[in-house]
Amino acid sequence: MLSGKSILVTGGTGSFGQAFIKRVLADHPEVNRIVIFSRDELKQFEMQQHLSPTEYPQLRYFIGDVRDQDRLRRALEGIDIVIHAAALKQVPAAEYNPFECIKTNVLGAQNLIEACLDTEVKRIVALSTDKAAAPINLYGATKLCSDKLFTSINNISGSRDLRASVVRYGNVMGSRGSVIPFFLARRETGELPITDSTMTRFNITLAEGVNMVLWALENMRGGELFVPKIPSYRIEDVAEAIAPGCDKPVVGIRPGEKIHEEMITESDSLNTVDIGEYYALLPSGNERLRKTYLDEGATEVPKGFRYDSGSNEDFLTVEELRSLIEAQLGTGPLA
């Protein structure tokens, strides 16, 4: 799939972008070109210190913003595959600066789609979030809009060989702005503030997220939204794993936060099939695609099915969380 291909990664200097690019360089050295598209020159400079175009001649660093369709179109020249990871992601910031979030997450998504339609792009995988399912905050609402834009590309692609799908997953362990780095930074104080003692979240590692995107590139037919089967954790258990016996004052949830995150709502379940390691949410009314999946062994989920972090059957224990954090973040022994 990647041999001889050219790839563009929006938000390429972020946590996912860097992990994805390292994986492609390691496993697919025959890739023709990887364009790292982002707006932060400092992050690009820092990334070039360990992923240098001199050592990796496949790499190109492009300064640009998804709000700028002309720059996107120029960056997409000769590109076969697009991984869309660029977004404004901080829930409180989005609540306070709503239209800035809309301009990047919604208008930026449409800019990318228009630019892909104007060039020779063949495949697009866009990253979503669990917050896009039944959203109660602006960030989740913008990502739901973005998801709908990408999964509808097949309606407007005409005779082009262009397919687009979306991958939706939960919190990436250790990503910037997430709870684990915050707790690690505060563990020496002996006090880790908890938003709500019953709060849960889905968990996925960066490597698992990269695996899912690569799998989607190989297996998508266009229009699907893929959801992984992953474990949940309790926020209190994360605090205990990082700083055993610490005080956990409850400080209340932030604006726009949920107690439990959903990835598939009961309404979504009408168009959801179980494909083994993942679920696939199929476009409403596309019976041909649904039949294709069912003929190839997918099964329909039960009536009334929902998939949320609170009722998930798979929860990480304190010990499992501690081991994962030590391994994924290289913290050394936490206990």
Active-site residue numbers? 131
The owner of tokens 């996912």 is 16
Q: What is the DSSP string of 56-122?
A: -TTEEEEE--TT-HHHHHHHTTT--EEEE------HHHHHHSHHHHHIIIIIHHHHHHHHHHHTT--
Total residue count of the chain as it appears in this document: 335
Neighbours of 56 (CB within 10 A): 15
Helix (H) or strand (E) holding 123: strand 123-127
**C-alpha closest to that of 156 among 115, 117, 126, 123:** 117
Q: What is the DSSP string of 245-284?
A: T-B--B--PPTT--SS-EEE-TTGGGGEEE-SSEEEEPPT
Q: Quick one: tokens of 210?
A: 């990269």
**C-alpha closest to that of 146 among 108, 119, 90, 100:** 108
Residue 284: phi and psi, rounded to 5, are -60, 130
Taken in order 4, 150, 277, 314, the sign of the CA dihedral is positive
Amino acid present at 44: Q
